[in-house]
Amino acid sequence: MKAPALLDNTRLPRWLLPSDWPQRDGVPVLARMALEAGRVQSVQPAADAAVRPPGSWDLAGTLVLPGFVDAHTHLDKAFTLPRMKEVQPGLLGAIDAMLNDRVHWSPADVRERASRGLQWAWECGTTHVRTHVDWWEPDAVPLAWPVMAELAQEWAGKVRLEQVGLIKLPLFEDASQALRLARQVKATGPQALLGGFVHSTNWSENALRNLLVAAQACDLDIDLHVDEELNASAVGLQTTARILREIGFEGRVVCGHICALAAQPEAQAFATLDAVARVPITVVSLPATNLLLQDAVTGRTPRQRGITLVKEARERGIPLLFASDNVQDPFCRLGSFDPVEALGTAALVAQLDDPFDTWSQALCRSDWLQRASAPATPTLAGATADLVLFTQADRHGWPSRSATRVVLREGCVTHGDAAPFFPR
């Protein structure tokens, strides 16, 4: 079903409006959005209802966001939990359980589970998903890797799927092998990125340098799991920032997790963030899995919560996204490939002010994963009309009551019930 040419009285978040947008009582006034040929043609302050063209929808203050990016998922592991027996607590216990599950993996198994994840993402209003794919061998491409490449093609136009080779850091110890791995990733297609698991248990500055240099040689962007631990001596992030500067890396580098910043003395953590702000690093925070996997000991209530320094990162202008991470696998038994859930968790654990007006951009700024420098002032005008309408939430409580939505893709309703907006 096609939406009309005019969506009136939409409530857009402050970050998506120009700085001179009118306000009433310190709150942005509602917007009138004109749609044409699947795009948003213009965004203006809402005007007199009397001049509303027939057929227009009156959204009466409904919260509206652009389509979401889920910047960090593991579609290859999703939905494996039901077939697991006992899983030891913590990140390393989950990794062990996952390794034992590998006997069940076949292309058909991975395809079925990953497709389910993409379907859920599509239904909740996500337009762009990035998945990591576990990669254990130096000479063999994992069986899930070509499955993701096929799914990227099949879902093109609905969900843009990117795939990151999540390669054990020791496989980069040898520079020529690092280059071979990077070339294999590059040959997959433009949706592929080089990645690695950077943790104090496998730490090697040499291997990390080889990874970054190999990506640079192959003109690849990078997406790393970094310092996913509460060990204050973890130096993955600060070393990544230093090497990127040394080699003059011009691609985009995503650093996910970086929990260790929360365990370090503030002066040290802030110095690292200052260095991160000077290189093309985007931070991705994964609050749900951090809560479940950090400070995890059987029978003991966790004390430290593992969220990274999200406010301090944003204060420094560092692009930052919240994402789902693991869904219904040994790393995280919950989850639904809905990044709004991740923000709901972050809003509590990181005590975020103003989730809708300020922090919702951490779900929508797909451009923060891209190489080209982000626009100073993001705007919907001219963008594809991929929109999510929250029919039962208000800005005070959002993202509570956000499950009921209407999703528009290129100006057509793909999910949800738009009947309440129809003219009477």
CA distance 205 to 169: 10
**CB closer to Zn ion out of 203 and 390:** 203
The residue from 228, 229, 266, 312 that is catalytic is 228
Alpha helix (H) residue ranges in 203-286? 205-217, 236-247, 266-276
3-state secondary structure of 183: helix
Binding-residue total with Zn ion (CB under 5 A):
1
74, 188, 229, 235 from 178: Cα distances, Å? 23, 16, 25, 21
Taking the complex as a whole, the smallest distance from the CB of residue 164 to Zn ion amounts, in Å, to: 9
63, 147, 221 from 195: Cα distances, Å? 36, 18, 9
Q: Which is it for the CA torsion 32, 62, 13, 155, positive or negative?
A: negative
Binding characters for Zn ion, 165-204, by CB under 5 A (x = yes): ----------------------------------------
| Count of C-beta atoms within a 10 Å radius of residue 383 | 15
Choices 35-43, 177-185, 321-329, 387-395 (CB under 5 A): range interacting with Zn ion: 321-329
Residues 7-66 that bind Zn ion (CB under 5 A): none
Q: What angle do CA 246, 162, 81 make, to 5 degrees?
A: 110
**CB closer to Zn ion out of 121 and 389:** 121
Taking the complex as a whole, the smallest distance from the CB of residue 196 to Zn ion amounts, in Å, to: 12
Query: And the tokens for 294?
Result: 């950090």
Please give the span between the terminal C-alpha atoms of the chain, in angstroms, as a whole number.
Answer: 18
**CB closer to Zn ion out of 227 and 325:** 325
Nearest residue to 18 via CA among 379, 342, 350, 420? 379
**CB closer to Zn ion out of 73 and 272:** 73
Taking the complex as a whole, the smallest distance from the CB of residue 66 to Zn ion amounts, in Å, to: 24
Tell me whether residue 112 is one of the annotated catalytic residues. Answer: no
Residues 325-384 that bind Zn ion (CB under 5 A): 325
Taking the complex as a whole, the smallest distance from the CB of residue 259 to Zn ion amounts, in Å, to: 12
Backbone dihedral region for residue 169 (phi beyond 0: left; psi -120 to 50: alpha; all else: beta):
alpha
CA distance 134 to 141: 10
**CB closer to Zn ion out of 10 and 308:** 308
**CB closer to Zn ion out of 31 and 193:** 193
Choices 116-124, 203-211, 319-327, 338-346 (CB under 5 A): range interacting with Zn ion: 319-327
Q: What is the DSSP letter of 390?
A: E
CA distance 154 to 118: 11
Choices 112-120, 193-201, 275-283, 324-332 (CB under 5 A): range interacting with Zn ion: 324-332
Choices 116-124, 143-151, 317-325, 387-395 (CB under 5 A): range interacting with Zn ion: 317-325
Taking the complex as a whole, the smallest distance from the CB of residue 174 to Zn ion amounts, in Å, to: 25
Taking the complex as a whole, the smallest distance from the CB of residue 308 to Zn ion amounts, in Å, to: 13
Choices 46-54, 60-68, 295-303, 318-326 (CB under 5 A): range interacting with Zn ion: 318-326
Active site residues: 228
Binding site for Zn ion (CB under 5 A): 325
